[in-house]
Structure 1
Amino acid sequence: MDILLGILAIIALFGIAYLMSNDRRNINFTGIGIMLLAQLLTTWFMFSTRIGQMIINAISDAFNKLIEFGTEGVNFVVGGIVSSEGGVFFFNVLLLIIFFATILSVLTYLRILPTIIKYVGGLISKITGLPKVESFNAVNSIFFGQSEALLAIKTQFHHLNANRLYIVSASAMGSVSASIVGAYLQMLPPQYVLVALPLNMFSALILASIIAPVKVPKEEDHVDIKDVSEDNSIFEAMANGALEGGKIALIVAAMLIAFIASLELVNWIIQLVFAGLTLQEILGYILSPIGILMGIPTSEVVEAGGIMGTKIVTNEFVAMLDFQKVMHEMSEKTVAVVSVFLTSFANFSSIGIIAGTVQGIDAKKAGAVSGFGLKLLIGATLASILSATVVGLFV
């Protein structure tokens, strides 16, 4: 029954995306089918084979070791501070972003990451028929944040029409930054966070390719990684990576303060009119039908839907903090589905981040992003649902 519901959910997602499509005649159904098959095979391999489980464990162990190294740095600076519970989250989770951002910056300066991303993106482009720029951006978005991923293709922005701009923006919103993955791994089960990374890449491309299909001439489809880093030495790369990581940590902390406080305010207003009711419960009831199709048991679907809805209207960290409180009471399937759904940047605040980044690259194209901002959020949310549904089929 769960498998039938999952298949129905995938069909429904494709149907919604098809209705939203800008150009139904040019949808690359072959490429979409290949990417969906890649998602199914990846999830099956990771969860149903011994080698796949060994790979997940090895990657998880590597991240845990990096977290240990990062914790040493954090403890040296703030280890003597007696913290409240909220302070522990900032020191033990958010400040680790600084170390992960430093590593990414160094790997970028050494051209290790850009080279891997270029050739993996090229392979995806060759297999699926998608343009190289969009494929490169999708892989790049696994490692870098929304702004950094878009900045990496800024030299190609003059070639991007509205549909191509939609696809690269959807990939940026539908994925997460590797610098933040370390924080996620301390809040959610590692196996679901790690499998969400490749699944979200494919999901974003699948849904965006239906909503905004493209055909690109070869002369307008070129990826250049020569200028991916402006650092002049490895030490400058470390310093700039650390500064960028610190900025991200502070931004996330500021957003958490604003969103959690605002959520409490909204709930207080709602309870003045409807005693005992919260925004999370309202969102839970709204998203219940989708949750059931994703494979969440009916006894847990309202609570799980509330957490997913919280992520959409605030951000993934707020939702993860709520999820941590109830995760131990939920079934493994619900934990898997919700964890994968939460592992993306698909929320309202991302629209502003992406529009602001594009504004800095090409002011004329920023208006186009603002114009399809809501459509972008819907598409990225559908992508998160697709990834979570695929995982639900194998748990």
Structure 2
Amino acid sequence: MADIARSLLAFLCFILVAFAVSEDRRRIPWRVVLGGLALQLAVALVLVHFPPARRAVMLANDAADALQRATEAGSGFVFGYLGGGPTPFEEKTPGAGFILAFKALPMVLTISALASLLFYWGVLQRIAGGFAWALRRSMGLSGALALGAAVHIFVGMIEAPLLIRPYLARMQRGELFALMSCGMAGVAGTVMVIYAGFVAPFLPDALGHILIASVIATPAAIAVAAVMSPWDIYKENAEAQLVVENPPTGAFDAIVKGVADGVGPLVGIVSVLLTTIALVSLVNMALAHLPQIGGETPSLQMAFALAFRPVVWLIGVPWSETPAAASLMATKTVINEFVAYRDMSGLGVETLSPRSRLILTYALCGFANFGSMGILVGGLNVMLPGRRAEVTRLGLRSILSGTLATCMSATVAGLLYGG
């Protein structure tokens, strides 16, 4: 009962935070808000406790293992021992042979090629269409917003708006913000397997949890966005269609196109990681000249970690474990979720309990950070040059809405999987 009471308090607090920064409290579409929260819980219940859905999630986890081994075969052939091939020397320090750029990131190309092939065959359209239908029926969303939100589960925060680009200019401000919030509350399919690899050593069915987190965060993100930036629900609710520029002409062409399309995200991940870590390090070097606080050197992560301590307690982490959990949430926000997942994988078993690790797996599963905000705002400004100022103002708010949505997902996970 204590866990249930804390979870209800968490949901209330998160909605109140969104309400406090709402642009127009009188216009909040409560059908969207309540429908989103109900859909999040319902989908989570189905995916966790409905045997056929649970088996499908476990199959996805097995597929992730197969993809990882297949990608290592390719990267090992191309990069040798740097990419997973046999090492010509003895590794004295465990883990020293793991080089991120050569062993983990090539998975982006494999997933991108596979996604392009599934899209050519129409598989992803059917799945996204089914979820979009559920969003429209339960929340009263427009066809364009529902479809854009649905495809966010499979593609990144820039690729999803591109697929509904003809509808973007006609979107209301709140609908555009909801689309941005979905991008910040989830992660792209191209990196899901990588993150699952980080948490797999301590969390069975790791990819299954990452998939569930991405799915259930979508209605939560729309609900939070509806409170923060309300929009009008029109009676006209026409179905939208995905739009693909230069569609592939065959299966092999789809694979080649997918690989080419994956190069951009791959370079973007490397660039954002390098630049963000460098800039945060510069700021922390400047903060290091300030007096110590509690025996620790001031840093951006420290400031955000202090704010996140009550948040991680609300979502179900024991208070004694909140320093480590809040630090991971701070890293995810200041740098990105990639580094946060990596750092969590390196923590000792005594630092976080299994349940806390599960909860944090859901809480960290989102692009809501400053680097991603820059990518999202920059991409949308190119697609919507006439709404540049509006998109820029909504950028910072989307970090908050995305974070609230992933925290709601973590709260649901803590409830469903128990103590």
Deviates more, 1:219-228 or 1:65-74: 219-228
Q: Cα distance, 1:75 vs. partner?
A: 1.7
CA distance in 1, matches of 2:316, 2:245: 41
Runs (5+) with no aligned partner, structure 2: none
Give the match's secondary structure for 1:224.
Answer: coil
Give the match's secondary structure for 1:346.
Answer: coil
Higher helix share: 1
Match of 1:284, as an amino acid?
Answer: A
What is residue 349 of structure 2 aligned with on the other side?
Answer: 328
Q: Cα distance, 1:29 vs. partner?
A: 2.3
Does the alignment pair 1:314 with 2:335? yes
CA distance in 2, matches of 1:86, 1:212: 47
Does the alignment pair 1:101 with 2:101? no
Give the match's secondary structure for 1:143.
Answer: coil
After TM superposition, list the pairs within 5 Å mapping 1:262-301 onto structure 2: 262-273=279-290, 274=292, 276-277=296-297, 279=299, 280-301=301-322
Give the match's secondary structure for 2:242.
Answer: coil
Does the alignment pair 1:207 with 2:214? no
Match of 1:13, as an amino acid?
Answer: F
Tell me, yes or no, if the aligned pair for 1:13 and 1:382 is still in contact at 8 Å. Answer: yes
What is residue 20 of structure 1 aligned with on the other side?
Answer: 21
CA distance in 2, matches of 1:46, 1:362: 36
Question: TM-score normalized by structure 2?
Answer: 0.87
Q: Cα distance, 1:264 vs. partner?
A: 4.1
Does the alignment pair 1:243 with 2:286? no
Does the alignment pair 1:57 with 2:58? yes
The 1:358–1:226 alpha-carbon spacing in structure 2 relative to 1, beyond 3 Å, is closer
What is residue 162 of structure 1 aligned with on the other side?
Answer: 173
What is residue 394 of structure 2 aligned with on the other side?
Answer: 372
Deviates more, 1:162-171 or 1:19-28: 19-28
The 1:268–1:145 alpha-carbon spacing in structure 2 relative to 1, beyond 3 Å, is same
The 1:328–1:47 alpha-carbon spacing in structure 2 relative to 1, beyond 3 Å, is farther
What is residue 348 of structure 1 aligned with on the other side?
Answer: 370
Match of 1:319, as an amino acid?
Answer: A
What is residue 79 of structure 1 aligned with on the other side?
Answer: 80
Match of 2:198, as an amino acid?
Answer: M
CA distance in 1, matches of 2:69, 2:45: 30
The 1:278–1:102 alpha-carbon spacing in structure 2 relative to 1, beyond 3 Å, is farther
Match of 1:365, as an amino acid?
Answer: R
What is residue 126 of structure 1 aligned with on the other side?
Answer: 137
Give the match's secondary structure for 2:104.
Answer: helix
RMSD, aligned α-carbons? 2.4
Q: Cα distance, 1:286 vs. partner?
A: 2.0
1:363 to 380, 385, 398: 385
The 1:295–1:119 alpha-carbon spacing in structure 2 relative to 1, beyond 3 Å, is closer
Q: Cα distance, 1:159 vs. partner?
A: 1.1
CA distance in 2, matches of 1:303, 1:272: 24
Does the alignment pair 1:305 with 2:316? no
Q: Cα distance, 1:307 vs. partner?
A: 0.9
Question: TM-score normalized by structure 1?
Answer: 0.91
Match of 2:99, as an amino acid?
Answer: V
Does the alignment pair 1:232 with 2:249? yes
CA distance in 2, matches of 1:22, 1:103: 41
Q: Cα distance, 1:272 vs. partner?
A: 4.2
Between the two proteins, the alignment pairs up a number of residues equal to 395
What is residue 67 of structure 2 aligned with on the other side?
Answer: 66
Write out per-residue CA displacement over residues 14-71 of structure 1, whole angstroms, 9 at most, x where no aligned residue.
1121222233334332343233223223334444565554333222112212222222
Match of 1:366, as an amino acid?
Answer: R
Tell me, yes or no, if the aligned pair for 2:196 and 2:210 is still in contact at 8 Å. Answer: yes
